[in-house]
Amino acid sequence: MTTKTQDIMSINLVTVNMHDALDDAYTTMRSNNIRHMPVVNKFGDVVGIISDRDFQRAMNSDTPESIDFGYKAIVRDFMSTPVITVPYDAELISVVQKMIDEKVSSFLVTSENTIVGIVSHEDLLKVLADMLYPTKDGVIASVTTWLSKTPIGDIARSLSGAGI
164 residues of the chain, pLDDT tens digit each: 688 999 999 999 999 999 999 989 999 999 999 999 999 999 999 999 999 998 888 876 655 555 666 668 899 999 999 999 999 999 999 999 999 999 999 999 999 989 999 999 999 999 988 888 877 666 655 666 666 677 777 777 777 776 66
Instruction: Evaluate whether 107 touches 98 at the Cβ level (below 8 Å).
Output: yes
d(CA 57, CA 74): 13
Map out the domains of the chain as residue ranges: 5-161
- Third-level CATH fold of 5-161: CBS-domain (3.10.580)
